[in-house]
């Protein structure tokens, strides 16, 4: 990025490179595209701040000095932890939840639970959704070993998720239960994760 | 009316100036998202310019970097969009622009702010 941000002073260049290295290190948790985007934006801010630093009325030489202007620009930007940590946490939570990461899902549910009745209701619906998705997924795997594990329909219209054969009931999709269950639960997991990421974006 | 003895509770009293020093930044920081949207209503801008204008207009002495988590949040919420623009001279800039949802949200924010401001103003006048 040196061609993008030309610096003439050797000392200022070293300070700049150190700052950039710290930035790269701190942004490591982010996916490449987001990492490059945030890095470029911060460096662009820093360069603008350095280039446009006000010169005092007396025309003091130190205010013309690139080294001093860069240090002032870094200082004005604030501590990287102060702005990068919330930024990284925000981006990661959003991205991981939308990709179905269990930790991010848990954090999303926890944050969602903090926000009033509507969000508590959303938490309940999403929590129940994840519970049933996981149940169906486990039963689909078990069905491959024990064909009696599945969904059973009674003549009266009741439905039962059961781990053994139900007298008088008919099993749903005896042959295809595992395939439909695994594919269906994977799709539902993806859908719920998208819904959760939508809620996460809304509650901030 | 309770007697003076009943108001005992705080042992160490704090200097009012110190309380104000702590209160003012918190109060102003809480308004930053609103201020960013107000500025973007006037036209597109980029991070550094936005930081400068906020400092000039509001006297909020905030670390410039803290604007970026706020801008990111506004973007995720769909209130603003961003676009990189390269220049013939100087560094590339990421410009932010208010979306229609952002404009609608700002209208509501302005209304809430005006109502709150008027209510507080009444209390201030009575105090």
CB contact under 8 A, A38 and B68: yes
Residue A140 near residue A161 (C-beta atoms within 8 A): no
What pLDDT does A61 receive?
47
Average pLDDT (A175-186) is 89
| Terminal CA-CA length for chain B | 20
- The answer to whether A77 touches A42, Cβ cutoff 8 Å, is yes
Enclosing H/E stretch for B46: strand B45-46
Task: Supply the pLDDT for residue B72.
Answer: 93
Q: Which of A48, A78, A94 sits opposite B66 (nearest CB)?
A: A78
What is the rounded CA–CA span in Å between residue A21 and residue A85? 16
pTM of the model: 0.63
Lowest mean pLDDT among A28-42, A71-85, B21-35: B21-35
User: How far is the C-alpha of B36 from the C-alpha of B70, rounded, in Å?
Assistant: 9
Q: Which residues of chain B have pLDDT under 50?
A: 1-2
Give the model confidence (pLDDT) of A128-177 as tens digits: 898 889 989 999 999 888 888 888 888 888 888 888 888 888 888 878 88
Please tell me the number of Cα atoms within 13 Å of A150 on its side-chain side: 23
Q: Do A51 and B63 touch (CB under 8 A)?
A: no
pLDDT 10s digits, A103-131: 667 766 665 566 566 667 777 888 889 88
* ipTM of the prediction: 0.79
For B85, the enclosing helix (H) or strand (E) is strand B80-85
Instruction: Determine, for residues A48 and B77 on separate chains, whether the beta-carbon distance falls below 8 Å.
Output: no
The reply to whether B85 touches chain A by the CB within 8 Å rule is no
Nearest C-alpha neighbor of A136 from the set A107, A102, A159: A159
Per-residue pLDDT, A19 = 94
């Amino acid at each position: 990025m040196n061609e993008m941000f030309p610096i003439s002073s050797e000392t200022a260049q070293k300070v700049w490179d150190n700052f950039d290295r710290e930035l790269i290190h701190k942004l490591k948790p982010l996916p490449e595209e987001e990492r490059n985007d945030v890095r470029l934006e911060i460096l662009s801010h820093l360069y603008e701040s350095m280039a446009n630093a006000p010169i005092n009325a007396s025309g003091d030489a130190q205010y013309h000095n690139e080294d001093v202007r860069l240090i002032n620009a870094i200082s004005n930007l604030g501590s990287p932890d102060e702005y990068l940590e919330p930024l990284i946490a925000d981006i990661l939570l959003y991205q991981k939840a939308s990709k179905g990461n269990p930790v991010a899902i848990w954090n999303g549910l926890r944050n969602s639970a903090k926000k009033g009745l509507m969000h508590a209701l959303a938490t309940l619906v999403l929590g129940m959704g994840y519970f049933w998705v996981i149940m169906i997924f486990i039963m689909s795997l078990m069905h491959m070993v024990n064909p009696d594990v599945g969904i059973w329909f009674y003549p009266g219209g009741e439905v039962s998720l059961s781990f053994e054969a139900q007298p008088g009931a008919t099993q749903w999709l005896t042959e295809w239960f595992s395939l439909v269950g695994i594919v269906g639960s994977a799709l539902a997991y993806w859908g719920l994760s998208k819904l959760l990421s939508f809620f996460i974006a809304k509650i901030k | 009316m309770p007697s003076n003895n009943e108001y005992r509770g705080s042992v160490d009293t704090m200097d009012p100036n110190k309380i104000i020093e702590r209160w003012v930044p918190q109060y102003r920081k809480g308004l930053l998202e609103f201020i960013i949207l107000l500025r973007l209503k006037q036209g597109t801008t980029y991070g550094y310019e936005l930081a400068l204008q906020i400092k000039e207009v509001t006297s909020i002495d905030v670390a410039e970097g803290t604007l970026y988590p706020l801008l990111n949040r506004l973007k995720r919420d769909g209130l603003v969009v961003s676009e990189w623009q390269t220049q013939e001279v100087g560094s590339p800039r990421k410009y932010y622009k208010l979306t229609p949802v952002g404009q609608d949200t700002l209208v509501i924010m302005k209304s809430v702010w005006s109502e709150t401001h008027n209510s507080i103003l009444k209390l201030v006048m009575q105090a």
